[in-house]
Amino acid sequence: MSPTKQQEAESSSDHDPQVVVTPAEATHSKRQNRGLWRDLTAYWILGLCNNYGYVVMLSAAHDIIKQFNPTDETEEATGRGCHLVSTGAILLADVLPSLFVKMLMPFFPFWVNFRISIAVAFSAAGFLLVGFANAEWMALLGVIITSASSGIGETTFLAYSSRYNKNVISTWSSGTGGAGVIGSLSYATLRDLDVSPRDTMLIMLIFPAIEAFAFWLLLRRPQVDILPVTTVESTEVLIRDDKPLVGFKEKFFYIKHLLKYMLPLCLVYFFEYFINQGLFELVYFEDIFLSKESQYRWLNVDYQIGVFISRSSVNIFQLNRIWLMSVFQFINVVYFLTEVIWWYTPSIWIVFAIVLWEGLLGGGAYVNTFYRMSKEITPDRQQFAMAMVVQSDSYGIALAGFLAIPVHNAICGLPAAVRNVAW
């Protein structure tokens, strides 16, 4: 390079505060870009397998309750066709263990191989327990173990993503969205084909095996000796956040900087799961091509399609104002709450459209939150930040489960409404 061109390059670099790159980082970047497809593919599969069991348990919630509660006096008295044990009970069993795990994981040693071994083993055990359950407590234990597996995996994989190209966040999110579609669709399809619950769960044991393959064989090991390329929004962010967090106290006080990510995500999921686990079961259209049980299953499939589309869209469309999604999700709550009381919607296809919109909002809030963090927080703090913020959706889901049970039971006690107009 001539002296003039070298001076121009140095001058250009001096006036570009957006990217800070050392020679070692540049070498690492070239290494990482070769075979990047393996990391991106592995993270998509890991997102799929990690959330698959969680989604299946929620899709099976109505069947699990019906299996151990075949009759209900309230169902006969009011004609609403619902059980006093709501699907919110399954939601709590599916989210509280995951939330507990997510709260503890950021403060434990990051033994990644040990954590993933536990997650894979718990996932397989959960399917077996639910499949072979001969009592309600056994089925709930299977749901609890599956939830713990999902929590361990999510905190570990998101924290581990700080050692890879930031685009693994988008493929992870897409994979978790894919878990929603594939999980709910596979369960609904197998059950509509009259495959028994036990055989359905045994078929699904393939997913823990695929998760193990993706992590230990497909995903490349990160180069821990060289830091990844640091790209941040401004030099001010880099100066403020470049020091690693050390010790419990420093990590604890750093949480206040993460509230701008946590609160909107928590609200979106609170509204979303209040609908899904408290109100979905009460949406019922008589004399149509789907039975009551099938309506519940296929509404879940529809919701998960919306989640998958939005979680896969971050490289095309980004939205930083997550709080807007929480406002729209609250409007959905108002609609469903009034619908299940008065049954005024004339067609199930309108409900399918609104449920798809609900899924788009939930998935969009998730992926945009973590993608924004991958750009705004430096790698030294990303591992802890990701592991903390991933808890926020679980807080919202847990609160939704607690609220869904009394609201669901109160609506079950009302006389059945009459749907006067139906197309």
Q: Which of 163-167, 210-214, 267-271, 334-338 has the lowest mean pLDDT?
A: 163-167
How much of the chain is in helix, strand and coil states, percent to nearest 5?
Answer: 75, 0, 25
pLDDT tens digits, 249-286:
888 888 898 999 999 999 999 999 899 878 887 888 88
pLDDT recorded at residue 22: 60
The verdict on residue 28 lying in a domain is no
The torsion region of residue 71 among left (phi > 0), alpha (psi -120 to 50) and beta comes to beta
Residue 336 Cα to chain centre, angstroms: 22
- How far is 379 from 400, CA to CA, in rounded Å? 33
Count of structural domains, the chain: 1
The verdict on residue 30 lying in a domain is no
Looking at the predicted structure, is the pLDDT value of residue 65 above 50?
Answer: yes
Residue 117's CB is within 10 A of a number of other CB atoms, namely: 15
Q: What is the average pLDDT across 198-215? A: 94
pLDDT recorded at residue 26: 58
User: Residues 257-285, buried b or exposed e (16+ Cβ, 10 A)?
Assistant: ebeebbbbbbbbbbbbbbbbbbbbbbbbb
* Total-model pTM: 0.72
The CATH number given to whatever domain includes residue 148 is: 1.20.1250.20
Name the more confident of 355 and 374: 355
Name the more confident of 239 and 70: 70
Looking at the predicted structure, is the pLDDT value of residue 84 above 90?
Answer: no
Name the more confident of 63 and 279: 279
pLDDT tens digits, 87-101:
567 767 778 898 888
pLDDT tens digits, 101-158:
888 888 788 899 999 999 999 999 999 998 888 887 888 889 899 999 999 999 999 8
The verdict on residue 101 lying in a domain is yes
pLDDT tens digits, 21-56:
566 555 555 655 668 899 999 999 999 999 999 888
The verdict on residue 168 lying in a domain is yes
Confirm if 322 and 369 have CB atoms less than 8 A apart: yes
- pLDDT band, residue 85 (cuts 50/70/90): low
Looking at the predicted structure, is the pLDDT value of residue 374 above 50?
Answer: yes
The verdict on residue 237 lying in a domain is no
The verdict on residue 346 lying in a domain is yes
The verdict on residue 390 lying in a domain is yes
Looking at the predicted structure, is the pLDDT value of residue 208 above 90?
Answer: yes
Q: What is the average pLDDT across 225-240? A: 41
- How far is 363 from 194, CA to CA, in rounded Å? 31
- Domain extent, residue 280, equals 35-68+77-222+247-413
Q: How many CA atoms lie within 13 A of 186 on its CB side?
A: 20
- How far is 90 from 92, CA to CA, in rounded Å? 5
The verdict on residue 51 lying in a domain is yes
pLDDT tens digits, 181-200:
898 889 888 988 888 888 99
- pLDDT band, residue 73 (cuts 50/70/90): very low
